[in-house]
Structure 1
Amino acid sequence: MVFKRLLGAMGVGGPSVDTVLDGGRGEDGGGDGAVRPGDVLSGQVRLEGGGSAVEVEYIALELIARVETEHADEAGGESERTVTFERFVVGGGFRLGEGERRAVPFRLTLPWETPATELHGQPLGIVLGVRTELAVAGARDRGDLDPLTVAPLPVQEAVLEAFGQLGFGFRSADLEYGHIGGTGQRLPFYQEIELTPPPAYAHAVNEIELTFLASPAGVEVILEADKRGGLLFPGHDALTRFTVAHQDVAVRDWSAEVDGWVRRLVEHREAYGSHAAYGHDAPYADPYGTHYAHTPGGHHDGHRSGAGIGTAVAAGAAGLAAGVAGSLVAAEVADEIGDFFEGDDEGDED
Structure 2
Amino acid sequence: MSMFQKLKASVGIGSAKVDTVLQNAEWLQGGLINGSIHVVGGKIDQQIDAISLKLCTEVKVETDEGVSYERFVLSELQVLDPFTIGADESRKMPFEFQLHEETPVTILNARNNRSYVWLETALDIDFALDPKDRDPLQIGPLPVVEKVLDLIERSGFKMVKADVERGHLQGEGFSSQSGCYQEIEFKNNGLLTSKEIELSFILEEGQVHCLAEIDRKFGMRGDQYHSFSLEHGASDEEIAAVVQSILD
Asked if Structure 1 and Structure 2 have the same fold, meaning a TM-score greater than 0.5 normalized by the shorter chain, the answer is: yes
Aligned residue in 1 for 2:225:
239
Aligned residue in 2 for 1:87:
76
Kindly provide the amino acid, as one letter, of the partner of residue 54 in structure 1: Q
- Answer yes or no: is 1:97 the counterpart of 2:82: no
Kindly provide the amino acid, as one letter, of the partner of residue 243 in structure 1: S
Are 2:230 and 2:239, in contact at CA under 8 Å, matched by a contact in 1? no
Query: How many positions carry a matched residue from both structures?
Result: 238
Higher alpha-carbon deviation: 111-120 or 56-65: 111-120
**Counterpart mapping for 1:306-321 below 5 A:** none
> Which among 93, 98, 114 is matched to residue 103 of structure 2?
114
What TM-score, normalized by structure 1, do the two folds share?
0.62
Aligned residue in 1 for 2:19:
18
Are 1:57 and 1:94, in contact at CA under 8 Å, matched by a contact in 2? yes
User: 1:172 offset after TM fit, Å?
Assistant: 0.8
- Answer yes or no: is 1:44 the counterpart of 2:42: no
Kindly provide the amino acid, as one letter, of the partner of residue 150 in structure 1: I
- Answer yes or no: is 1:67 the counterpart of 2:59: yes
Are 1:9 and 1:141, in contact at CA under 8 Å, matched by a contact in 2? no
User: 1:205 offset after TM fit, Å?
Assistant: 3.7
CA distances 1:91-111 after superposition (whole Å, capped 9, x unpaired): 232221100011111111101
Kindly provide the amino acid, as one letter, of the partner of residue 15 in structure 1: A
Are 2:169 and 2:176, in contact at CA under 8 Å, matched by a contact in 1? yes
User: 1:77 offset after TM fit, Å?
Assistant: 2.6
User: 1:70 offset after TM fit, Å?
Assistant: 1.6
Kindly provide the amino acid, as one letter, of the partner of residue 102 in structure 1: R
Q: Tell me the secondary structure at the aligned position of residue 252 of structure 1.
A: helix
Q: Tell me the secondary structure at the aligned position of residue 144 of structure 2.
A: helix
> Which among 212, 221, 239 is matched to residue 254 of structure 1?
239
**Counterpart mapping for 1:195-214 below 5 A:** 195-197=186-188, 199=190, 203-214=192-203
- Paired with 2:162 and 2:230, the residues of 1 have a C-alpha distance of 22
**Counterpart mapping for 1:135-154 below 5 A:** 135-137=124-126, 141-154=130-143
- Paired with 2:206 and 2:243, the residues of 1 have a C-alpha distance of 20
CA distances 1:188-226 after superposition (whole Å, capped 9, x unpaired): 111111101254xx5234311111112123111111112
Change (3 A) 1:92 1:258: same
User: 1:181 offset after TM fit, Å?
Assistant: 3.3
Aligned residue in 2 for 1:192:
183
Change (3 A) 1:142 1:15: closer
Change (3 A) 1:9 1:164: farther
The percent of aligned pairs where both chains have the same amino acid is 31
- Paired with 1:76 and 1:262, the residues of 2 have a C-alpha distance of 35
RMSD of aligned residue pairs (Cα, Å): 2.5
CA distances 1:22-50 after superposition (whole Å, capped 9, x unpaired): 12xxxxxxxxx311122110111111100
Are 1:117 and 1:123, in contact at CA under 8 Å, matched by a contact in 2? no
User: 1:19 offset after TM fit, Å?
Assistant: 1.0
Change (3 A) 1:223 1:40: same
Are 1:133 and 1:140, in contact at CA under 8 Å, matched by a contact in 2? no
CA distances 1:97-140 after superposition (whole Å, capped 9, x unpaired): 100011111111101211100048x9943111111110125869
Kindly provide the amino acid, as one letter, of the partner of residue 187 in structure 1: S
- Paired with 2:33 and 2:214, the residues of 1 have a C-alpha distance of 35
Change (3 A) 1:256 1:203: farther
> Which among 26, 34, 41 is matched to residue 26 of structure 2?
34
**Counterpart mapping for 1:325-344 below 5 A:** none
Change (3 A) 1:35 1:10: farther
What TM-score, normalized by structure 2, do the two folds share?
0.86
User: 1:59 offset after TM fit, Å?
Assistant: 0.4
Are 1:63 and 1:131, in contact at CA under 8 Å, matched by a contact in 2? yes
| Structure 2 unaligned spans of 5+ | 1-8
Are 1:22 and 1:42, in contact at CA under 8 Å, matched by a contact in 2? yes
Kindly provide the amino acid, as one letter, of the partner of residue 186 in structure 2: L
| Structure 1 unaligned spans of 5+ | 1-7, 24-32, 264-350
The runs of at least 4 aligned residues of structure 1 exceeding 2 Å deviation read 122-125, 136-142, 181-184, 202-206, 250-257
